[in-house]
Structure 1
Amino acid sequence: MLKEIFVNSAMTYEYPPDGGIIPIIDPYDGCTIGCPYCFQLDDETWNTNLNVKLNISDVLQKELIQWNKEDTVYLGSKCDPYMEIERKYQLTRKCLLELSKLNLKCMVTTNMVLQDVKTEI
């Protein structure tokens, strides 16, 4: 089921076993692709709902004011940020625009990024 939501925070953080902190931006909670290598496949409830974070780019803009420019942000840890629904909502693109305004480094895992790579942001 598709659900449009509003968020208070754009970023979450993962803490790998070897130490450190990885800042994460997931424009969507849930994923419709089902990649065979996805670590979320073990979670039986993962693809039950798809939450669309309508205000994520606005919240991200505010959070980036205090961001360390040396850190790399990971875009799409728990979703493919370029799944089909991105065509309608453009949340990944909006987040990338916010990151690019400050020349911040970003890592994206997807098979579908060509639209924004080919377009000057």
Structure 2
Amino acid sequence: MLSGILFVLHTGIQWEFLPQELGLGSGMTCWRRLQEWNRAVAWKQVHDLLLAELHTADKLDWSRAVIDSSHVRAARRGPKVARARSIAPSGPQAPRPDRGRRHTPGDLAPPAPTAMASPNCCH
């Protein structure tokens, strides 16, 4: 089941299209097992064990670590931050050249055609 789950997660195919010829089990069975393991917090346990073993073997390069915000709980209320004040001069602003002018459909002309690769160029 684990190989089937990893295959689907790696390739991005739909669960029901997991090829039976690979001998990895039914896609729906793999999906149900993944759900069960998620509810049992098994993935976190496997992840923690793998990190511990890699750290012990000095196989982790922590200088390349990234915190994924989807896994870090956000604070409900952070400190209040004062709004930044504008440092621009407060005198009269120069009028924009197009202000007050009506636009016509011809103003937004489509870009000139460019050479594009044929869709059949790469196989």
Report the TM range for the smaller structure's normalisation.
under 0.3
**Structure showing the higher strand proportion among its residues:** 1
**Structure showing the higher helix proportion among its residues:** 2
| TM-score (norm. length: structure 2) | 0.26
Structure with more relative contact order (C-alpha pairs < 8 Å, separation 6 or more): 1
| TM-score (norm. length: structure 1) | 0.26
